[in-house]
């Protein structure tokens, strides 16, 4: 099913029958991705008295409790409330859900023990005003990302200048296939988060960061239409299922 999109940048067509889901599914086992020194998420039948919420054990329905952390276990979208002393909810800050997006692939530069996405790299891949959302796929891009345990791995991250450049390009929604845009152990500086949100001087409350996405190898770099719709959690972050649609000129 084709849809004609009339965007401020122009008109184009997308095929709604060909969604590209770039989220990671949440599992209650060791195959779930894990970051921030957490254990595995839990998906377990409710138990009280003699009742066990599992059809195979005699219940009429499957009735599970789910315990997880959106930042460490799932594809999630966060607002600036992630780093502010005041409460800001992703459910309140994100009110639009479709954006012109660009997907780029970047192999982070090696700097000592770190792997860093630099401003110089991004300047070659995205221009100012080109997209409202930017999806960064890091290279190498292996299927192991779908179940990677990231704690204590010093994952790749964005240098502060790179995050600032993304903001200068007018990107309001940044998506990465990493647990964080910042270094795992950065003494709480959060330089990339702050640069992207322009916090605290002129904070971009409407801007979001989505982490722990996974973009399959077969998906080509280029222009897409993005549906970004987090679950309705009153929290700084919520699990999300970002979906891309290839733009057909």
For 60-99, write each residue's pLDDT tens digit.
999 999 999 999 999 999 999 999 999 999 999 999 999 9
Domains, the chain: 2-25+70-248 (3.50.30.50)
The model's pTM is: 0.97
* Distance from C-alpha of 10 to C-alpha of 240, rounded to nearest angstrom: 27
Annotate the chain with DSSP letters as a single string. -EEEEEETTEEEEEETTS-EE-PPPP-SSTTS-B-TT----EEEE-EETTEES-GGGT-SS--EEEE--HHHHS-EEE-GGGT-SS---HHHH----EEEEEEEEE-PEEETTEEEE-HHHHHTT--TTS-SEEEEEESS--GGGGG-B-TTS---EE-HHHHHHHHHTT--EEEESSS-SS-SSSTT--HHHHHHHTTTTS--TT-EEEES----TTSPSEEEEEE--B---SSSEEEB--EEEEEE-
Q: In this structure, what token pair is assigned to residue 93?
A: 């800050």
- Strand 114-117, strand 157-158: pairing: parallel
Per-residue pLDDT 10s for the chain (249 aa) are 888 988 888 898 999 999 999 999 999 999 999 999 999 999 999 999 999 999 999 999 999 999 999 999 999 999 999 999 999 999 999 999 999 999 999 999 999 999 999 999 999 999 999 999 999 999 999 999 999 999 999 999 999 999 999 999 999 999 999 999 999 999 999 999 999 999 999 999 999 999 999 999 999 999 999 999 999 999 999 999 999 999 987
Q: In this structure, what token pair is assigned to residue 44?
A: 């377990």
């Amino acid at each position: 099913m084709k849809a004609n999109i009339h965007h401020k940048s122009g008109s184009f067509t997308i095929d709604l029958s060909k969604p590209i889901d770039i989220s990671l599914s949440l599992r209650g086992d060791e195959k779930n991705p894990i970051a921030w020194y957490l254990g595995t998420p839990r998906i377990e039948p409710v138990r009280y008295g003699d009742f066990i919420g599992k059809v195979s054990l005699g219940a009429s329905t499957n009735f599970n409790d789910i315990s997880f952390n959106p930042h460490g276990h799932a594809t999630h979208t966060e607002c600036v409330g992630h780093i502010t002393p005041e409460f800001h909810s992703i459910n309140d800050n994100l009110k639009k859900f479709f954006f012109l997006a660009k997907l780029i692939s970047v192999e982070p530069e090696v700097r000592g023990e770190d792997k860093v996405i630099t401003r110089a790299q991004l300047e070659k891949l995205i221009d100012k005003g080109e997209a409202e959302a930017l999806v960064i796929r890091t290279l190498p891009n292996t299927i192991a990302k779908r179940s990677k345990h990231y704690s204590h791995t010093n994952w790749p991250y964005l240098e502060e200048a790179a995050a600032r450049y993304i903001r200068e390009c007018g990107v309001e929604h940044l998506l990465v296939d990493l647990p964080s845009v910042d270094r795992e152990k950065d003494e709480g500086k959060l330089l990339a988060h702050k640069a992207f949100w322009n916090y605290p001087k002129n904070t971009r409350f409407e801007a979001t960061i989505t982490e722990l996405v996974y973009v399959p190898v077969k998906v080509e770099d280029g222009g897409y239409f993005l549906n970004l719709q987090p679950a309705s959690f009153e929290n700084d972050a919520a699990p999300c299922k970002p979906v891309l649609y290839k733009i057909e000129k």
